[in-house]
Structure 1
Amino acid sequence: MDTIDTLISARWVVPVVPDGLTLADHSVAIHGRRIVDLLPTAEALRKYAAATHHELPGHALIPGLVNAHTHAAMSLLRGLADDLTLETWLREHIWPTEARWVSEAFVRDGTRLAIAEMLRGGTTCFNDMYFFPNVTARVAAGLGMRASIGMIVIDFPTAWADNADEYIARGLREVMDAHKGESLISTCFAPHAPYTISDAPLARIRTLADELERPVHIHLHETAAEVARHVEQHGCRPLARLDRLGLVGPNLLAVHMTQLDAEEIALLAARGASVAHCPQSNLKLASGFCEVARLREAGVNVALGTDGAASNNDLDMWDEMRTAALLAKGVAGRADALPAREALRMATLGGAQALGLGEEIGSIECGKAADLVAVDLVRIETQPVYDPNSQLVYAAGREAVTHVWVAGRPQLVDRELVQLDATEIMANAAAWRERIGVQIGEQIGAPAAPAD
């Protein structure tokens, strides 16, 4: 028998590729960080002697979920300003609060809270865009969480940097160079949006992204008002401006994209760009509908993201899968517009491919990193099981996630976090609520919460 580190035997294995495949009574063999075999359980028990054997007779084993767009530290702003339009939410509430409170400590505690939530929900990789990305990278690496860290760039000063050149320089030095060679940390350029960054830094990002082979992660065509204002100011729609600057290509990850015409969809497809669909955030902020069915039919790779917990208000990729599938049907007027298996693919391999990690994660294949999630389907809420793909998307939720592995290392076992202290994380979140609550009280004239 061959000796391996871990054998996971599940009632169903859903590898995502080939498309729609479900394997009954199969096992995944792991040695070190990687998947070394996928085979029927009876055969696996004859072939392998595992140091650890997880027997999961009522579970589906799937690839780890990939959250293709979030702002992890903003978990500390969850519920701060709800039921507002995007512009009001940003300009009158989020940006003033960030100006006062964002710091290394804020990002550290917010990222730890976000990672705990994501792991409990089966997310094993997240793509982040926020200030102090060096802190986000350090926290993720220290906790064994896979992350694509966005090197944020905007024109105006914040606590992280004073101008676009400084944002780029600090990102390259303190994020990309500092974590070079770390298997769990990758990087991308993250210009915030066309309305917060001018042409010169965008052109420089294009050059650097091409030279360094890094994705470019940007909010784009998020609302009709944004697009209309951009036309007034620049004489063209945002995507056309990015195309003129040479940014529309295989390394572009365009977030939201609720305002697209047929020519723009064709352009994205022709250039091999990806779209990060954030259905719940788009709905909550009334930003519009991303036409996922048309994008997919054109051949555009579509990933799923939660956005930040300040606008969602959670980091629940199960909700995003279900909402994406249902919304796509309603927008297209077709029940087959986004089948369950394709929603799952968007939340796994679609996200991995958008981040340039498709050869490493996103599906259960030999040689790939062992980023895996076990989902308990022997529950009242998910019985009976005819098609595991359908149950995963339309009936299961993050509460059904029992085990999570990142690069072969257990991060959640029987619903308990391995690397994180939930009590400490919640105490830190409560402390931030007290501090920030003082500001809210000052703004609205309500009694302020006492500071710590």
Structure 2
Amino acid sequence: MDSRFAAEAFAHEEQLLIPEWLLLKDGPVRGHAVVVSQGRFKAVGPTVALKMRFPDIATTELADTLLMPGFVDTHHHLTQSFGKSLVFGEPSEIFRRVWVPLEGCLNEEHLYLASKLSALEALRGGFTTVSDAGTRADASVGAIAKAATDAGLRCVLGLICNDLGGIKTPQRAEAIVERAEQHIARWESDRLIHPSLAISIPEAATDGMLTKISNLCAEAGCAFQTHVNEHLAAVERSIEQRKLRPIEHLHRVGALGPQALLAHATLVTPTEIKMLCDSGAAVSYNPVASAWKGNAVAPAHLMTTLGIRLGLGTDGTRSDGFRLLDYAEAAQRFAFGLGIGDSSCGGGWTWMEHATFHGAQALGLDSVTGEIAAGKDADFLLVDLNVPEMQPSWDLTWELVRLANRDQIMGVFVAGKLRLWQGWPVDWDAKLLMAQVAQVAKTVVAEAPITKLHGFASEHRFARTGS
């Protein structure tokens, strides 16, 4: 990557940025610029007009550069970074054998380190916003908020409110609701942390708790998160326990609505799809999770066509925004497009929108972030277009979906502040964090009662080949 401009060029409280390309909600345009002031986009429009309107502010020309919205990850597990590769090759429902045991061993220091590592990975992958689905650790989620804030990442912070299985320290329903209300009040006015409440899976809560927590989110205008219809085992467990599929169960107790953000929704019936349409619920489409451990792919293109709100999520698999775009389109093509001759499966623009504006919309943050527009927080990326992969350029949107790479991201800005430059933080020591994690993670993983069903690669190879 060349050094046509330096990080110091962005140290102004108010500045005019003039990229070669600007990615707006309706697509990429040339000859446009932005004014960033006090952490927000003050103005967006034709370069000539903005130069005349703001003749005296600092100006930076960004040749061969795309200025685009930061990616929005609508489903993440920030506290699971210590065990990333422990789940490779594992069959579904790894939360029972890996994640619950691992999170049960995390104290507040561990939560901070694991979450800050995840935040660093997210920023390196071009994500300026992530939605954390909650941790099962007993330690305070304040450690997650501090980690995200210290890293400079916008975070929708989930608080798990289960009152049935999967709880290390059970609580009375009244205590859970009180804690949920305090969580919302604590973070509702924060610049980077946005409160959310979560039930791990519908079967992990009583019907009364599902309804109460969903209603609290509706009243507060925040997201109610839960995992639904991800695996065959999950669907069958719901039918066995509640005589209903997960989405049907949520519908019956009145927990669906515009506040609901449903992770995965891969195994859905026509009836459940109609429930999503009618309720206004949002879905996090997690294509990498489907590829790595899922039983199916969410019919995301169909959901979009039917008007279901949809964002893209990593599920904590790999924080790489451009590769997520590629997987989002490719998974639809493999699962649905090939058999019917659909060669575009929504086109590149569909997945770019779901990775930015529609992702923010699914989280209820579209008034804050997700697009380059006046009044929105200045959450954006500077992407180097002067690379062989992007030349010659004929269709920039498609090229971003299928050809762009994480190493093209020069700068990552959240709330107008430069957080990463050429892949590394500008105001804190990422290498020190990595060294701390390397030591702590070994101890935590060794103590956690994790059960792997698939050996590490060398062990698996030996078992299959004898060498």
Calculate the TM-score normalised by the size of structure 1: 0.90
Alignment correspondent of 2:192: 184
Amino acid at match of 2:33: S
Amino acid at match of 2:319: L
Residue by residue over 1:229-287, the C-alpha shift from the partner in whole angstroms, topping out at 9 and shown as x without a partner, is 21122111111111111111111111101111222212211221111011111221133
Alignment correspondent of 2:40: 34
Paired with 1:171 and 1:218, the residues of 2 have a C-alpha distance of: 15
Paired with 2:165 and 2:172, the residues of 1 have a C-alpha distance of: 6
Alignment correspondent of 2:123: 119
Q: Is 1:61 matched with 2:67?
A: yes
Aligned with 2:110 (options 106, 109, 125): 106
Aligned with 2:99 (options 70, 82, 94): 94
Paired with 1:30 and 1:192, the residues of 2 have a C-alpha distance of: 39
Alignment correspondent of 1:298: 306
Paired with 2:251 and 2:279, the residues of 1 have a C-alpha distance of: 10
Alignment correspondent of 2:400: 392
> After the TM superposition, which of the residue ranges 341-350 and 431-440 deviates more from structure 2?
431-440
Amino acid at match of 1:232: E
Per-residue deviation at 1:161? 6.0
Alignment correspondent of 2:31: 25
Aligned with 2:15 (options 6, 11, 23): 6
Alignment correspondent of 1:271: 279
- Checking the alignment, whether the CA contact within 8 Å between 2:101 and 2:448 is kept in structure 1 is no
Alignment correspondent of 1:449: none
Paired with 1:140 and 1:168, the residues of 2 have a C-alpha distance of: 25
Q: Is 1:147 matched with 2:160?
A: no
Q: Is 1:319 matched with 2:323?
A: yes
- Checking the alignment, whether the CA contact within 8 Å between 1:206 and 1:245 is kept in structure 2 is no
Paired with 1:37 and 1:90, the residues of 2 have a C-alpha distance of: 45
Q: Is 1:354 matched with 2:362?
A: yes
Amino acid at match of 2:19: A
TM-aligned CA distance change 1:425 to 1:276, over 3 Å: same
Paired with 1:408 and 1:389, the residues of 2 have a C-alpha distance of: 24
Aligned with 2:78 (options 66, 72, 78): 72
Per-residue deviation at 1:187? 1.1
Question: Where in structure 2 are the equivalents of 1:225-374 lying within 5 Å?
Answer: 225-308=233-316, 312=317, 314-333=318-337, 334-374=342-382
SS at match of 1:79: helix
Gaps of 5+ in 2: 1-11, 456-467
Per-residue deviation at 1:91? 2.3
Per-residue deviation at 1:303? 0.3
Amino acid at match of 2:21: W
TM-aligned CA distance change 1:358 to 1:195, over 3 Å: same
Q: Is 1:81 matched with 2:87?
A: yes
Paired with 1:235 and 1:441, the residues of 2 have a C-alpha distance of: 32
SS at match of 1:229: helix
Per-residue deviation at 1:118? 1.1
- Checking the alignment, whether the CA contact within 8 Å between 1:219 and 1:254 is kept in structure 2 is yes
> After the TM superposition, which of the residue ranges 44-53 and 345-354 deviates more from structure 2?
44-53
TM-aligned CA distance change 1:424 to 1:161, over 3 Å: farther
Amino acid at match of 1:120: R
Per-residue deviation at 1:206? 2.7
Residue by residue over 1:73-119, the C-alpha shift from the partner in whole angstroms, topping out at 9 and shown as x without a partner, is 111111123211123x23233322322x2111111001111111111
> After the TM superposition, which of the residue ranges 180-189 and 58-67 deviates more from structure 2?
180-189
Paired with 2:213 and 2:450, the residues of 1 have a C-alpha distance of: 40
SS at match of 2:87: coil
Paired with 2:260 and 2:100, the residues of 1 have a C-alpha distance of: 26
Amino acid at match of 2:99: I
TM-aligned CA distance change 1:331 to 1:57, over 3 Å: same
- Checking the alignment, whether the CA contact within 8 Å between 1:293 and 1:337 is kept in structure 2 is yes
Alignment correspondent of 2:6: none
Per-residue deviation at 1:164? 5.2
Per-residue deviation at 1:160? 7.0
- Checking the alignment, whether the CA contact within 8 Å between 2:214 and 2:259 is kept in structure 1 is no
- Checking the alignment, whether the CA contact within 8 Å between 1:12 and 1:25 is kept in structure 2 is yes
Amino acid at match of 1:180: E
TM-aligned CA distance change 1:419 to 1:145, over 3 Å: farther
TM-aligned CA distance change 1:441 to 1:82, over 3 Å: same
SS at match of 1:78: helix
Per-residue deviation at 1:153? 1.8
> After the TM superposition, which of the residue ranges 159-168 and 255-264 deviates more from structure 2?
159-168
Q: How many residue pairs are counted as aligned between the two chains?
A: 433
SS at match of 1:350: helix
Alignment correspondent of 1:450: none
- Checking the alignment, whether the CA contact within 8 Å between 2:71 and 2:126 is kept in structure 1 is yes
TM-aligned CA distance change 1:156 to 1:229, over 3 Å: closer
SS at match of 1:181: coil
Residue by residue over 1:317-368, the C-alpha shift from the partner in whole angstroms, topping out at 9 and shown as x without a partner, is 2221110111112222212222111101001111111111111111111111
Residue by residue over 1:111-135, the C-alpha shift from the partner in whole angstroms, topping out at 9 and shown as x without a partner, is 1111111112211111102223222
Paired with 1:441 and 1:272, the residues of 2 have a C-alpha distance of: 40
Paired with 1:282 and 1:213, the residues of 2 have a C-alpha distance of: 29
Paired with 2:410 and 2:33, the residues of 1 have a C-alpha distance of: 17
Paired with 2:353 and 2:85, the residues of 1 have a C-alpha distance of: 30
TM-aligned CA distance change 1:235 to 1:93, over 3 Å: same
- Checking the alignment, whether the CA contact within 8 Å between 2:98 and 2:451 is kept in structure 1 is no
- Checking the alignment, whether the CA contact within 8 Å between 1:250 and 1:273 is kept in structure 2 is yes
Calculate the TM-score normalised by the size of structure 2: 0.87
> After the TM superposition, which of the residue ranges 161-170 and 236-245 deviates more from structure 2?
161-170
Q: Percent identity?
A: 27
Aligned with 1:47 (options 31, 43, 53): 53
Amino acid at match of 2:38: G
Amino acid at match of 1:70: H
